[in-house]
Amino acid sequence: MNFRTSRRALVAATLGCSLAFASLAPLATANAAAAADGPSIRVVGGTDANRSTTGWFRQFITVTSGGPSTCGATALTNRWAVTAAHCVATPDGKTKIGKGKSYLLVNPKTRGTGKRFYLDKAIVHPSYKPNSRLQLADVALLKTSKSMGGGKLTLNTSRTSPTLGQAAQVYGFGQTVSGDYGSKPTVLQRGDVEDLAGPTGTVCGSYGSDFQVAKEICAGLPTGGTDACQGDSGGPLVSAVDGRNRLVGIVSSGTGCALAQYPGIYTRVSTYSNWIEAKVFGKFAVTSPCASPCARNKGQSSTITVRNRTTSKGSFDVSTNSKYLRVSPTWGKVKGKKSKTINVKVKTSLKRCVVVKVSSTDTPTKSFKIATNGKRC
């Protein structure tokens, strides 16, 4: 199975994507343009993805507009999915989603199947340059007009994962034979690969300085044989991080398919996770170290952390429905990439739960329950 676009044929591939974008199908046209040059994106050497063993199958999405589906995507929330920027970007860096035409096929059992959800908008990463030879910042977000329902894959935010040699899986409906544009499978394919550079390696096959480890992942097999290829662009590279399957990469680019010296190149999700989370979840990450509801007795405290995911300053407000809590501060400002801690102290024990809310114009309100009698509510 194969997913990705050629680095040497990048300009032709990008133009192909934009011309076909009314259908969100960058690689169908791009592949034909790249064929003569060799490089491509897809999954070769894969096997049928087994729904009974692939627990996150529900999160795989195909992007289409009624024509051949040529890009993959991954559900992050009920209305947001992530894909490759070259799947949706025009040559001038803008997006075009074809109102009433472009849609996602969610939970596809076979090629072209799945429940249809029309797109509301697409957002391309601001650092993506469609006419550049390299596919850096090759990430875009897709928002549907209606909820897609349950099923999502957690982003990898660890800058030290995956490690060198760590196992990973790539999924897609792209070509299964390099250079054979009619070899697209009926059933979703899974390719078992491994990280060939790690989080700090500077060498990825024969790519030389074209590979940038801080922004990309190099994955395949040392001897070749399994890889992403045309038709797989935007699809997921999944690996276990902290004991949980996470989205670590997005199918982006490469030379040929399944070649020993030219592994697949994937957008490194952890590098762009702050941007993704800020667009999808809001400017602030609001968390508490204890499970909700927090169980506290009189005189005990809980903490809530407000972390700014972006580089710009933002403000927030804190409120509670009980006079028996002392909250400090009740408002605050957080500079870019900084955090602020809110202290919540129980003044009097009550046989009920009370609520603390953190709100901001940049982030949906987050509520925390506190059991003031030291027990569950």
The residues that are catalytic are 138, 233
CA–CA separation, 73 and 87 (whole Å) = 10
24 backbone φψ class: left, alpha, beta (φ>0; ψ -120 to 50):
left
Q: Could you write out the DSSP letters of every residue in 118-131?
A: EEEEEEE-TT--TT
Can you give 279-334 as a three-state secondary structure string?
HHHCCEEEECCCCCCEECCCCCEEEEEEEECCCCCEEEEEEECCCCEEEECCEEEE
- Interhelix angle for 26-35 vs 10-19, to 10°? 140
Which structure tokens are listed for 62?
A: 């195909």
Q: Parallel, antiparallel, or unpaired: how do β-strands 294-295 and 363-371 relate?
A: parallel
Residues 6+ apart with CB under 8 A from 176: 1, 2, 42, 43, 44, 46, 183, 184, 185, 189, 229
Within the chain, where are the H helices?
10-19, 26-35, 269-281
**How many DSSP H helices and E strands does the chain contain?**
3, 25
C-alpha distances (whole Å) from 30 to each of 16, 155, 170 are 5, 28, 20
